[in-house]
Amino acid sequence: EDEISDLLPLIQEANAIAKELQKPIKFEIKLVTKVPEVARMGPLDELKSHKQIEIGVNMENLRNGDSVVWTAEKFNDRLYMFRDLFERMSDVPEGQKLDIPKEEDPFWDPPEPHLIGNAHVYLKFLYHVLELQYNPVIIDYRGKQEGELRVEIYPVDDNGEEYDEPPNGLEEWIGKPINFDFKLIYGKGLTEKYANNVSVEFQFFNEPVIELDPIPGKKPNPEFNFRRLFKIEKITKELVDYLQNDAMTFKVKGYTDAAYKELMESQGMSHRPSNALGSTMEPPASAAPSASQELPSKPATPAVSEVEFKQAKDEAEKLRAEKRKLEVEKEELQKEMVERERKAKDEALATVTKDGDKAVKKQIDEMKKERDSAVCHIILCF
């Protein structure tokens, strides 16, 4: 709540500057649910991780409807640049316009791929040296399904043949070589809004990160047909642990229609380094003020009206309510998992008790039979 309260007036200031400079941009707070990238966790831990909430700033282009979520740190860096641009505009004589290159406009970002979502593939089949054929679903930052991939991995020998008699576990083959024939065949059902220039990034064990070349055009059902043979010279304990507990994470990226159009138009043109391969764009050195640099004074920025302040206050209250709701939901889910574990333990205990009762009853019946046999023997003797 403190972070939201601190961020709100800065967002209102940025919106006011954008309005004064006639930029078709709107900023607002965005609550982002963090999805884990590595799946080395139990169901309860994974459930908790899906409910971790981060605060970002959504920048929406009102002209084409595109939006991108900035971190609070990136927004703060850009705000210094907004203020500087506003000061420069204030020095321009009335009736004239300040022309700045698009590359120097802090309200503009080069077209960058959008993270459609992550897909996880658990590798325990490979630990047992069995083939793995799987269609992992692609999950976005909200936990919503955004399509699926087709992944196949085959443990093979140096001749490319599958093993006839696999071991019970890969520990039995420590020190021996093994190969994995990996295939990423296709994607299916991707959200059309982001299905332009689709690419996938992933990594297997300690191999270098692989990023597939983007598939040109709009492809909600892209055909990757990618194949790679991962050769392991010696099976190690580290590899065994990786296959037992970890998962491969596939990051699926794509461009919006507007961003893809701009990307195509800008090819061959000189502009700020784009983020075509998904690396994090660092703000210019001038974005963050040095100790000796004096920031524009607060009165230089447009004032926020009472109506805008009330709207911001109402928005903050809605965000707090949403956050509280998510936290309550998280607690309820945690309680449900705990209750499931308790019931499972009770059922197991009941089964043990039941089996114990049967054993005792069987023992009593046997004792009765022995007693009856002894009585009969005594009678016959007499």
* pLDDT tier, 281 (very low <50, low <70, confident <90, very high otherwise): very low
* pLDDT tier, 101 (very low <50, low <70, confident <90, very high otherwise): confident
Q: Which of 96-105, 223-232, 235-244 is least confident?
A: 96-105
Q: Which residues pair with 199 in a beta bridge?
A: 253
Angstrom distance (rounded) from CA 89 to CA 51: 43
Angstrom distance (rounded) from CA 281 to CA 284: 9
- Contact criterion met (CB below 8 Å) for 53 and 32: yes
Task: Look at residue 261 and tell me whether its pLDDT is greater than 70.
Answer: yes
Angstrom distance (rounded) from CA 254 to CA 195: 5
CA–centroid distance for 11 within its chain: 26
Task: Look at residue 294 and tell me whether its pLDDT is greater than 50.
Answer: no
**pLDDT of res. 380:** 46
Both tokens assigned to 324: 């509280």
Number of residues that this document lists for the chain: 382
Task: Look at residue 291 and tell me whether its pLDDT is greater than 60.
Answer: no
Give pLDDT tens digits for 25-51: 999 998 876 655 554 554 445 544 555
